[in-house]
Amino acid sequence: MNKGQKIIGALILIGVVGAVIGYLPMNKNQQRKVQQPVKQSKLGQAGHQLPKGAEASDWQLLLVNKQHMHKKEINFKKVTVDTKQLDQRIERPLADFRAGAKKAGYATTLVSGYRSIAYQTQIYDQSISQHEADGLGQSEATKLTQSVIQTPGSSEHQTGLAVDLAGNDAVAKYPELMAQMDEFKSQQWLIQHAPDYGFVLRYMRDQKSVSQTGIDYESWHFRYVGIENAKYMTKHHLTLEAYVDELKKSGKI
C-alpha cells in the first residue's frame, strides 16, 4: 500500500469511528445536561414565573362574571364591617389596607361589600328605572346599566371578596361613585397600594381589560385575591379573567 492509500484509509477509519460515537446513547449525566426543559406548569403564557402554589381553584380567585354566573348564593362565613358584610377571611387584609391609607393621610369609606343576589337584583332594576326616568329607552337603559352593574348572579359582590372603597373626599364629591374619583390622591393611593394588601383594582381603564371583564373602568372597586396573586396580576396588568385563564393553561387547576 502506498502512502496516499494509507492516508485515505486513515481518513475513512476516523469517519466511521466518529459516526459510531455519534450514534451511541449518551450516559445519564449527559442526558441531564441536555434535557433541562422548564416545567410549563410554573410559567404563564408570556413565560413569567407564576406565584408558587397558586391554582385557579383557590377560594380567593373565585371568578364570577357573565360567563361564570352563580345563580345560587355562595356559602362563606360573613362578618360585618361598617354595616357592610364581607367574607370573614378578608376582614384583616381590608383593615390593614385601610389602616395603611389612614397612616398615609387618607381616611376611607367602605361603600359596599357583600351583596346577595336579591339585593343585586334590586340595584340592577333601580339603575334601569333611573335611566328610563332620565329619558332613555328600555334597551338603552339596560345597556348603560350593564356597562357598570353586573346582572344578578354575575356580580362578584356576592362572593364577599369584593369591596367598593374610596377616600372620604372622593366619596363626598362623587357619592354615586364615578371613574373620576381617581382625581383624588386618596384614590390614587388606594389603587397604587392595593396589591400590598392582597387587593387588585378589578375593573381597569384600558380597552383590553374592559373587553375581558365586560365592565367599564371603576376606580373604586377592589377585589381580594391574595398578596402574591395581586402583585403578579398588577405587574403583568392582568384581569382576574386573564389570570385564571393563565393558571389553567399552565396546568395549575
Domain ranges, residue 8:
1-33
Cell 390614587 sits on residue: 188
Identity (one letter) of the amino acid at 73?
E
Q: Is the CB of residue 15 less than 8 Å from the CB of residue 8?
A: no
Q: Do residues 13 and 45 share a domain?
A: no
Identity (one letter) of the amino acid at 43?
L
Q: pLDDT truncated to tens, each residue of the chain (253 aa)?
A: 544 444 444 444 444 344 434 434 444 444 443 334 334 446 676 667 999 999 999 999 999 999 999 999 999 999 999 999 999 999 999 999 999 999 999 999 999 999 999 999 999 999 999 999 999 999 999 999 987 788 999 999 999 999 999 999 999 999 999 999 999 999 999 999 999 999 999 999 999 999 999 889 999 999 999 999 999 999 999 999 999 999 999 999 9
Whether residue 145 lies inside any domain: the answer is no
Whether residue 134 lies inside any domain: the answer is no
Q: Do residues 173 and 243 share a domain?
A: yes
Whether residue 25 lies inside any domain: the answer is yes
Q: Do residues 86 and 189 share a domain?
A: yes
Q: Is the CB of residue 199 less than 8 Å from the CB of residue 87?
A: no
CA-wise closest residue to 116 among 143, 76, 89, 144? 76
pLDDT number for residue 174: 98
Whether residue 138 lies inside any domain: the answer is no
Say if pTM beats, i.e. exceeds, 0.85: no
Please, what sign has the CA dihedral across residues 20, 24, 27, 33? positive
Whether residue 128 lies inside any domain: the answer is no
Whether residue 137 lies inside any domain: the answer is no
Q: Do residues 9 and 71 share a domain?
A: no
Q: In the β-sheet with 108-112, what is the strand arrangement from edge to edge?
A: 108-112, 162-167, 221-224, 199-201
CA-wise closest residue to 127 among 111, 98, 112, 147? 147
Whether residue 139 lies inside any domain: the answer is no
Q: Do residues 48 and 107 share a domain?
A: yes
pLDDT number for residue 218: 96
Domain count, the chain: 2
Q: Do residues 188 and 233 share a domain?
A: yes
Whether residue 150 lies inside any domain: the answer is no
Q: Do residues 29 and 87 share a domain?
A: no
